Amino acid sequence: MRRLFEVGELLGDRDVRVVVTCGTGGVGKTSVSAALAVAAAESGRKVVLVTVDPAKRLATALGLEGLGGEPQPVPGITGGSLDALMLDMTATFDDAVRSHAPKNRVDEVLRNPFYKALSTSFSGTQDYMATEKLGQLYEQAQATGRWDLIVVDTPPSRSALDFLDAPARLDRLAEGPVLQLLAPSSGPLKLISAGLSQVTWVISKVIGSKALSDLQVFASAFETVMGGFRRRAAVVRTLLSSPAAAFVIVASPRKAALDEARFFVGQLRDRGTTARGVVVNRVSPAVPLAPEAEESLLLEPEAYAWWRASWVTWRAQRARMVKALPTSLPVTLAQTLEREVTDLDVVRELGSLLVDGAGLAEEDEGPVVDV
Ligand SMILES: Nc1ncnc2c1ncn2[C@@H]1O[C@H](COP(=O)(O)OP(=O)(O)O)[C@@H](O)[C@H]1O
Ligand SMILES: [Mg+2]
């Protein structure tokens, strides 16, 4: 038996303030994140679930038709509380400007054409914004006590790693050529204000003098905003590398998803973090393998055919899991449910499966029966 990933213990651990799920797309990461959030909330915690996945499914499953960029209470939760929101990148960026830019410059920046262009096309915006949002939520949680657990549903696998790297990339970005170029205190814009540079002349010829003054306004205010961003990103980085953060990997029994899970374990380890465990979602039901059961099944051809097919599938899945997943990684299995995860009851059911915990047995559980 692999070590069981004790999901209930994780969710009950009050020192854990952030649970981040990672995994490749389509394995049920959003569903598992919602299930973890609901289970934690119903065990008495005050939870906020933030999803970076723009799919409508989560909103429907939680009974929130208009899941938006602001936390909204999920109706029907008993015990604790659950709020949910979907990352809204533009709104998060605007909020960042509101909280970081000098008060008298906020409107000017928000209306600035360079800001508008940047806020919609900032490369990796999703990762920076997810970091920023997590920072905002965490600060709000600390300040108001409204939440004691943040569950983050990251974008699919490889970009979820970008999410972890966003704070560091933000530092590089701020110190790199682009922002240095824009930063009035150090880059060519300083020369621009002194009216000394050939560059000024070239820029104003190329983009026009109105655009140049827009750029100057943007650049001077944005330096402050960038500073605020980086401060918050530093808080998030510290949080994510502390014991208050737990990383949960979500996979399915398909080979590609399991390989991706292992890749993730390595990537987290490279960042000095250990994954708390893996949820292998959508496994086929572990079928009864006792010889007695088998004999009785043999009496009914249809039942036998079903049993046989399920057993073959299950054995293949189990073998793939045993092979792909590092032995040090605690595992819990969640079966494919009868229904898609489309309402709170099913989310709750998935949550109970996770909390009850079915482990991965490595030993052979029965003889292969020849048909
Ligand atoms: N254990 C499960 N049993 C049945 N359906 C599931 C299960 N987990 C997820 N699903 C379904 O699989 C689909 C993908 O799930 P989703 O959580 O959106 O995946 P991801 O976020 O990884 O892309 C959804 O239709 C969801 O209802
Ligand atoms: Mg998803």
Q: Which atom of ligand 1 is nearest to the CA of 53?
A: 21
- Minimum-distance ligand 1 atom for the alpha carbon of 32: 17
Q: How far is the CA of 282 from the centre of ligand 1 (A)?
A: 8
Q: How far is the CA of 295 from the centre of ligand 1 (A)?
A: 35
Ligand 1 centroid distance, CA of 27 (Å): 6
CA of 133 to the centre of ligand 2 (A): 18
- Which residue of 31, 32, 36, 157 sits with most ligand 1 atoms within 8 Å of its CB, as the best mutation to test the pocket? 31
Residues with CB under 6 A from ligand 1: 25-31, 53, 55, 57, 281-282, 334, 336-337, 340-341, 350
pLDDT at position 194, please? 47
Q: Which ligand is nearest to the CA of 336?
A: 1
Q: How far is the CA of 356 from the centre of ligand 2 (A)?
A: 23
CA of 50 to the centre of ligand 1 (A): 17
**Strand 72-73 relative to strand 81-86, pairing:** antiparallel
Q: How far apart are CA 52 and CA 17, in angstroms?
A: 18
Determine the pLDDT at residue 54: 75
**Relative to the CA of 250, which ligand 1 atom is closest?**
22
Ligand located closest to 87 CA:
2
Closest Cα to residue 79, out of 41, 48, 47? Answer: 41
Interval between CA 154 and ligand 2 midpoint (Å):
8
Residue closest via CA to ligand 1's atom 9 equals 28
Nearest ligand to the C-alpha atom of residue 250: 1
Measured between alpha carbons, how far is 347 from 47 in angstroms, rounded to an integer? Answer: 15
The neighbour count for residue 305, using CB atoms within 10 Å, is: 12
Q: How far apart are CA 304 and CA 298, in angstroms?
A: 6
From the CA of 340, how far away is ligand 2's center (Å)?
A: 14
State pTM to two decimals.
0.85
Alpha carbon of 25 to ligand 2 centroid (Å)? 6
Give the number of the ligand closest to the Cα of residue 36: 1
| Strand ranges for 23-116 from DSSP E | 46-51, 72-73, 81-86
Q: Are 326 and 251 in contact (CB under 8 A)?
A: no
Ligand 1 nearest-atom number relative to CA 55? 18
Distances (CA, A) of 361 to 151, 159, 273, 309, 319: 29, 32, 26, 19, 10
- Alpha carbon distance 68, 261 (integer Å): 30
Identify the DSSP state of 37.
H
Which one of the ligands is nearest to 53 CA?
A: 2
Assigned token pair, 229? 């961003």
Write down the H helix ranges in 241-300: 255-270, 291-298
pLDDT of the residue at 177: 56
Residue pair 239/223 in contact (Cβ under 8 Å)? The answer is no
For 78-158, list the strands marked E by DSSP.
81-86, 149-153
Tokens of 71: 């936390």
| pLDDT for position 368 | 46
**Ligand 1, pocket-test mutation among 340, 343, 347, 348, most atoms within 8 A of CB:** 340
Nearest CA to ligand 1 atom 2: 336
| pLDDT mean values, one per 10 residues, the chain (371 residues) | 93 97 91 97 97 83 87 96 91 85 84 75 68 92 97 74 69 61 51 48 61 68 77 89 95 95 90 93 75 65 80 89 94 93 95 93 54 38
Report the relative pairing of strands 18-22 and 46-51 from DSSP bridges: unpaired
Specify the residue with its C-alpha closest to ligand 1, atom 8: 28
pLDDT computed for residue 191 by the predictor = 43
Cα angle: 50, vertex 340, 330; to 5 degrees = 65
Q: List the structure tokens of 191.
A: 């020369």
User: Is the separation of the CB atoms in 183 and 189 below 8 Å?
Assistant: yes
What share of residues in the chain are helix, strand, coil (percent, to 5)?
Answer: 55, 10, 30
DSSP per position, 195-229: T--HHHHHHHHHH-HHHHHHHHHHHHHHHHHHHHH
Residues comprising the chain, all counted: 371
